[in-house]
Amino acid sequence: MRNDIHLDQLSTLELLKLQTQAIQELRKRNIVRTKNNPIGDYAEWLVAHTFKLTLVNNSTSGFDAFEFDTNGHQRKIQIKARRITSESPSRQLSAIRNLGANDFDELYALIFDEDFELLEAYAIPHHIIQEYAKHNKHTNSHILHLKGTLLRDSRIKDISASLQKEHQSA
């Protein structure tokens, strides 16, 4: 990162405008696809780019990317990311909608620190998510925490190393 930028010398409005410019540049580079918090879009780009997946349209429900296996079967991938900070250390992923519909084959879950460094990433088969996710009546969705017994389950795959090279060069 450049050392000649002194963010502490910018006004609040200048900082907000800088964020807008950064998001616009990330969109031009096809790293993010929306104007929302960039961590979700960035995670989708990183996973798709690393594993040569095809990202689907933002309005597609239930999965974010796909690939065809050697038998020509389409594998659908849901991608979730969480950025943890000292103020918000929760490892809860965003809501998983319609889990029972089997809209995806695997969930790729990525954890970043507050400086957007990739800490961990896992590929979790759909049937395992059904075992660990808890239904939330209020949001009518399933909630999954990326910790504890889930991470010790031998059926999930750590994909952190596969993503690190691409992440470091992004």
pLDDT one digit per residue (tens) for the chain, 170 residues: 566 789 999 988 899 899 889 999 999 999 998 878 889 999 999 999 999 999 999 889 999 999 999 999 999 999 999 999 999 999 999 999 999 999 999 999 999 998 899 999 999 999 999 999 999 999 999 999 999 999 999 999 999 999 999 999 88
**Letter for the amino acid at 10?**
L
Q: What is the pLDDT of residue 2?
A: 66
Q: Which residue has the tokens 């808890």?
A: 134
Which DSSP letter does residue 39 get?
Answer: H
Q: How far apart are CA 21 and CA 139, in angstroms?
A: 33
| DSSP annotation of 93 | P
Q: Is the pTM of this model over 0.95?
A: no
Domain residue ranges in the chain: 36-169
Phi-psi region of 52 (alpha: psi -120 to 50; beta: other; left: phi over 0): left
How far is CA 50 from its chain centroid? 13
Is 36-169 assigned to CATH 3.40.1350? yes
Phi, psi of 86 (to 5 degrees): -65, -30
Neighbours of 52 (CB within 10 A): 8
Residue 77's SS3 state is strand
3 state SS of 3: coil
Q: Quote the pLDDT of residue 1.
A: 58
CA pair distance 74, 70, nearest whole angstrom: 10
